[in-house]
Amino acid sequence: MRTSRKKMYGVIPPMITPFTSSGDLDIPGLKKLVDYLSAQVDGLFICGSYGSGPLMSVEERQRLAEIVLERVGGTIPVVVHTGTANTRDAVELSTHAVSIGATAVSAVAPYYYHHGTDGVVEFYRSILRSVPEDFPVYVYHNPRFSGYEIGMDALRILTKEGIRGIKDATFDIGKFSLYMRELEPEGLDIVLGTESLWLPACSLGAEAYIPGLANAFPELCVRLHRQGMEGDLQACRQTQFLVNKVREVMYLARSTQLAVYAMLEIRGILKAFPRSPFVPATEEEKGKIASALKVLGVLE
């Protein structure tokens, strides 16, 4: 991620959080995963959906962010997800992220209750007020998880109030195109929130994406990004097809989050557990995932 141009750049995995079998933070596993990823990718996005942020307490999220920032040691940028169901906790997490040297914060709209434009604007306005004026704050638009869409009226208001950009996890290339057409010229950084649409998003002007698959296959996601940015569309097309086939394999574990834990174990990178109420992939599911990945030729 480049900050000199005030834009994210490259492959920025939404890093999973390793837990022990009893549900505690797996600190050694966390450090191991940070070391593995930071040597290959352009930045890290922590405590988001893949990172189980909503399943952790404020204190746990702060501790995790501190460990990641210390482990990275400034070698790559770190974006901290600070979204919660309430404004107070989101503000606390955001000010903490600033204090420990995070590059930016990104917050999903407050979830569970469905908020209108006024509530959504007030939520992000409070975060903006709590951090230094030039500190990057990104809207994380994930309507499947927040439960509702953030409308263009709210985004236009927030653009004027100083948000830096949008992490678009709508999985809607039409919506991404709309943001690029209407909001990017106003100075917003529009970042793709999935690996599944990189090629079309790149053709629309995207420069960064936040791919869950990059937890387990960072090299594949980096290849996809570089081919797109270099304009090698034929190669990028083939890699996009491969990436999407691997994404289909992820659903053998009932959710893409669970699949990432399984794939990290299958590749011999890390054995860790998701936090309850997530249930780890079964041995049968892991066997099916491994076999499917071998057929695709992505396992050594």
Pair of tokens at residue 22: 């009893």
pLDDT of residue 6: 79
pLDDT of residue 55: 98
Give just the sign of the alpha carbon dihedral 179, 90, 100, 63.
negative
Torsion of CA 210, 237, 197, 223, to 10 degrees: 0
Amino acid identity, residue 166? I
Domain 10-230 classified CATH 3.40.50.720? no
Strand, helix or coil for residue 27: helix
Helix (H) or strand (E) holding 136: none
Long-range contacts of 255-259 (CB under 8 A, 24+ apart): 256/50, 256/212, 256/213, 257/16, 257/49, 257/50, 257/52, 257/212, 259/289
Mean pLDDT by 10 residues, the chain (300 residues): 65 98 98 98 98 98 98 98 98 98 98 96 98 97 96 97 97 98 97 98 98 98 98 97 97 93 98 96 97 94
pTM for the structure as a whole: 0.96
Q: Which of 248, 235, 250 has the alpha carbon at shortest distance from 285?
A: 250
